[in-house]
Structure 1
Amino acid sequence: MEKKTDVKVSTLRWKILRQALLRHPCPPNPDGQTQMGIKHISRRASHGFNLIPSRLLDEPQTNNCLGSGDARVCYTLPVHGAPQLFLSQRVDNHAHLSDFEICNRYNIDNTGLICNWPSEEVLAYYCLSHRDLFRSKKVIELGSGYGLAGFVIAAVTEASEVVISDGNPQVVNYTESNIAINSGAFGNTVVKSMMLHWNQEETFNIANTFDVIVASDCTFFKDFHKDLAHVIKLLLSNAGSSEAILVSPKRGDSLDLFLEIVKENGQHFSVTENYDAEIWKRHERLMNEDKDSWPSYEKDHCYPLLIRITL
């Protein structure tokens, strides 16, 4: 009888969930084909678009194949004279029960702790390539995760102030630590961390404050669309040419539904597909000759569009 080699996608997704929840050591001889299948259907990308060189400085101690602990990642910004950035990040490949408790308590998701997502790297690179947009401006990053884009803006754009915000208190703790680690890289730019829920009422003290809002891949969860659109309108300054700069994949109808709410709120927006020559080149390479480096890469789910929102 011929050995069956195909594994159902649903089975592979359950294996991903099992790996995330269990801390048992991996079997000594895992099914290689199954592992390859998991890699293919998982949306998590280890390398992304490889726009900003990075290397792991501190290899965490691991007790099993799932990994544990924190590590420092060094980002070398591809701009002459730019400082290196050192970001401590959690490198667990499994979830903690406390993660779910915090998500339930604060009505948030846990994706910011998993890794620096590809859209965050794209946003950081775009900000790096358009530094003049931020000079002397007050900037806030929403849903920052580890905040690579916020740290890049703080380090190279001469912004007057950069606030790196997230609704997850665990993420904010990492941000505070990383601000201290990189304090010498910011020049005269004031850099702060902030715990910010998009639906919280206690935002009157920062309303009408920011010249530029940035965010990456924050339109995925449809339940948060109204709150995100609201907080963007609330935080943007009414003076001058303030704007929100978002990068986000379409992800089915998710982005379109978010933009419908933006329009209903009386805000204006533009969507650009090809907004940077280098980013577009990497995208085309992933779609064609470099498929093996990101097996699950699909334009709809992975390539971030540029959205600019004004009042």
Structure 2
Amino acid sequence: MDITENTLCDAFQRYFFCCRQIGSLPWQDLAQQLMQQPCLILNILEKHESTEAEPQDELYNALAEVLNAEQTTKSYKSYFLPSGGTVTLCESKAIISEGTTGLVTWEAAIFLAEWAIENIDIFRNRTVLELGSGIGLTGLVICKSCFPKKYMFSDFHQKVLSKLRENIHLNGFVLSDDNDYTKKPERVKDSDAVQMSVLELDWESITEQQLSQIDADVIIAADVVYDPDVITSFSNILCKLLLCKKVEKSLHIFVASTVRNSETYKLFQTKLDEARLKWQIVADHKKKKFVYDVNCPIQILQVF
């Protein structure tokens, strides 16, 4: 198998394990590859005809079981890391389910995960707090690829928190006691570097004292400013985090957003200005590492 065939096989594998739609797989590339090797097609057909074997009943039975199986509301998606590992997620098939959009992985979360892989030094040996973690893709990628000392997932919706914990366990991690800001979390299984916890965090009610106990070095968030009603509370918690940081410590804040509505995104930037928070657009990462659709521009802002 030459390099082109290896690349094509890798593409099909990545698309398949990310549960992309069948029509989106690189069929045209496959057709071009086969057209260049007509002997390969003839060889496959000849071998099939030469066996003169009857199809096995077991194959038909297995097909019938699949066709008759009830449709589930969830799916499992796997993302292949450049290091050779994987992150597997159980998520909803519907964009909105259980009254929330937080049970699916959004493009900005994947984009931020890719960017993190190319900026490992920002996360290495740091304490990271993720706001609005959803079902956990970005955090799990960072924990497996960027070597943080401590990682705190957070969200508020109970169904999202439940699915988030499920995905963390699915990827072989052990959690500390939830919502104890002061207790040192248990070590993650198979790693002496990362400590991991899940926090139920209400942006409206959490106090600066509680945030100071979290004592994060890096704050990240993905796709949390899509709704004007959420922008004010999100801007306020960023202010609290910056106000309660210890004098001797610097705080790095990165917010990834899919710009679906330019007016909504401008509102977020305006709220940051009103709160006297400075911001700048971060340069995009160089290489796309995961399979996903980018129908709208995605930007990462650093806030300070």
Structure 2, unmatched stretches of 5+, are 1-11, 20-65, 174-188
Q: Does 1:175 align with 2:181?
A: no
Cα distance in structure 2, aligned partners of 1:259 and 1:228 = 12
Deviating above 6 A after TM superposition, structure 1's stretches of 4 or more consecutive aligned residues are 61-65
Are positions 1:133 and 2:122 aligned together?
A: yes
Matched, 1:304 2:266: no
Residue aligning to 1:83? 85
- Asked if 2 retains the 8 angstrom alpha-carbon contact of 1:162 and 1:192, the reply is yes
**Is structure 2 residue 206 aligned with structure 1 residue 201?**
yes
**Matching of residues 40-189 of structure 1 within 5 Å:** 55=17, 67-79=71-83, 82-92=84-94, 95=97, 99-100=98-99, 110-113=100-103, 115-182=104-171, 183=173, 184=189, 187-189=192-194
In the superposition, the TM-score normalised over structure 2's length comes to 0.65
**Residues 247 and 185 (structure 1), Cα distance of their counterparts in 2 relative to 1, 3 Å cut:** farther
Amino acid at match of 1:83: G
**C-alpha distance in 2 between matches for 1:89 and 1:188:** 27
After TM superposition, give the deviation of residue 203 of structure 1 in Å.
5.8
* Residue 138 of structure 1, CA deviation: 0.9
Which residue number in structure 2 is paired with residue 241 of structure 1? 250
CA distance in 1, matches of 2:146, 2:75: 27
Structure 1's unaligned 5+ residue stretches are 1-49, 101-109, 283-292
Percent sequence identity is: 21
Residue in 1 that maps onto 2:267: 257
Contact 1:156 1:186 in 2 (8 A): no
In structure 2, the residue matched to 1:286 is none
Aligned equivalents of 2:219, 2:117: Cα separation in 1: 15
Counterparts in 2 of 1:176 and 1:154: CA distance versus 1, 3 Å:
same
Number of residue-to-residue matches in the alignment: 224
8 Å contact 1:179–1:191 — kept in the other structure?
A: no
User: Following TM superposition, by how much is the alpha carbon of 1:54 offset from its aligned partner in structure 2, in angstroms?
Assistant: 6.8
Normalising by structure 1, what TM-score? 0.63
Q: 1:269 aligns to what?
A: 279
Structure 1 residues 179 and 94, CA gap change in structure 2 (3 angstroms): closer
Cα–Cα, structure 1 residues 94 and 249, in superposed 2: closer, same or farther, change >3 Å? closer
